[in-house]
Amino acid sequence: MSILHTDSLTKVYGDINHPIPAVQTVNLTVDEGEFLAIMGPSGSGKSTLLYLLGGLDKPSTGKVWLRDADLSALNDDGLSRLRRTEFGFVFQFFNLIPVLTAQENVAIPLILDGAPRRAALKQADEALARVGLADRSTHRPSELSGGEQQRVALARALVTTPAVILADEPTGNLDSRSGDEMAQMLRRAVDERKQTLVLVTHDPRIAAYADRIVFLKDGKIVDENRLKGQDRAEQIREQLTKMALS
């Protein structure tokens, strides 16, 4: 069953004399419980597409549907509510609030949604435990390693049990071991909790964890792949090379 669906989605930057198309007429469907990776060269519009899917940005034309909710019909407060309850975001650069502890950072979406503080912090502790950071809950981001910070960000994304997790280069700032751990945790979230995950990456090893990959070039979907077999990362590399040469 489809959970995210786009209809001729387009985003153009710049003005009328110098338009810069970032996403062009993208029709994409993401099924519930699917792990979708979006790949492409730099400037292909991957992050833009992700932001449009999560309601962080408004399309120039076209629509985005979350189940049967048209995101373009929602006002800012409506989109904010969706981001609190239906979406979970993981960014490349962690984006933790430096003055809050790990626990408080994770609890933010719950508190913003009106949960009592004590209950929110308890849920945050549980989310931190799931990412293996139960003993670091009182530490501030500056006291955590890069990998730990990204795990806190992941816990924050998971704490509201969102329908869709959107991750923009979540391993881009991590070493390969931490990156693998992150990717495994994301995979577990999909498998164990049937959450949908849309992940933007340029790393074939990380994309190999996905059920499906869409390839973007110049803002358009140029290829799609449901990978099977052991050497998925290698297959992805070959596909990327072919795209680069074409």
Partner 1 sequence: MTTQTHHFRATVWQMALMGQRYLSGRKLRTVLTTLAIVFGVALIFAVNLVLPSVTEAFEQSLSTASSADIRILNVTGGSFAPGEVLATIADIPHVQAVSGVLERTITLPTLADNNPLGDIVQIKLIGIDPAVAENIRPFPMSAGRFLAAGDQNAVVFAAGVTELAPELQVGTTFSLITATGLKTFTVIGFIDEQGSLSAPPMYMTLADAQSALNQPGLINTVEVNIDANADEDAVTKDIENALGSSFQSDTASSVMDSVGALGIAFSVLDLLGFLALFLGAFLIFNTFRTVVVERHHDLAMLRAVGATRRQITTMIMIESLLQGIVGTLIGLILGYLLALAYISFIGQFYHTYFAGITIELRLIPSAVVLASVLGIITALLAGYLPARSAGRASPLEALRPATTARVNHAARWSLIVGVVLMLLAVALLLSGSSGAVGGALLFLIGMLFAAPGLIIPVARLFGPLLTLWFAREGDLARGNLARQPGRAALTGSTLMIGLAVLILITATISAFDVLVTNLTNAAFSSDIVLIPQAIAIYDTVIGADDSLATRLRALPETQTVASLRSAATESNGQRLQVFGIDPGAYPRGASLEFNEGQPDTAFSALASGRNAILTPLARSALGLEFDSDFVLETVDGPQTYHIVGVASDVLSFKVNAIYISQDNLAADFHKTEDVLLYLRLNPGEDTAAALTDVQQITQDYPQFTAYLTSDYGGDLIAMTNNVLPLFYALAFLILFPAALGLLNTLTINTIERTREIGVVRAVGGTRGQIRRIVIAEALLLGIFSAAMGVVAGVAISYGFIGAFGIIGWKVSYTFPLLGIIAAVVIGVMLTLFTAILPARNAAKLDIIRALQYE
Report in angstroms how near the CB of residue 208 gets to partner 1 at its nearest.
27
Report in angstroms how near the CB of residue 126 gets to partner 1 at its nearest.
18
Report in angstroms how near the CB of residue 52 gets to partner 1 at its nearest.
10
Beta-carbon-side half-sphere exposure of residue 123 (alpha carbons within 13 Å): 19
- Judged by beta carbon, residue 170 or residue 204, the one nearer partner 1 is 170
Whether 131 and 102 have beta carbons less than 8 Å apart is answered as no
Round to whole Å and give the CA distance between 200 and 187: 14
Within 10 angstroms of residue 245's Cβ, the number of other Cβ atoms is 6
Applying CB under 8 A, the residues found at the interface with partner 1 are 15, 51, 54, 56-57, 76-77, 80-85, 88-89, 91, 93, 95-100, 104, 108-109, 111-117, 156
- Judged by beta carbon, residue 101 or residue 178, the one nearer partner 1 is 101
Report in angstroms how near the CB of residue 243 gets to partner 1 at its nearest.
27
Map residue 201 onto helix, strand or coil: coil
Q: Which residues contact 180 (CB under 8 A, 6 or more apart)?
A: 205
- Judged by beta carbon, residue 10 or residue 95, the one nearer partner 1 is 95
No. of H helices and E strands in the chain? 8, 11
Cα 199 to Cα 45, 60, 75, 108, 241: the distances in Å are 13, 22, 25, 22, 20
- Judged by beta carbon, residue 96 or residue 144, the one nearer partner 1 is 96
- Judged by beta carbon, residue 98 or residue 229, the one nearer partner 1 is 98
Report in angstroms how near the CB of residue 178 gets to partner 1 at its nearest.
17
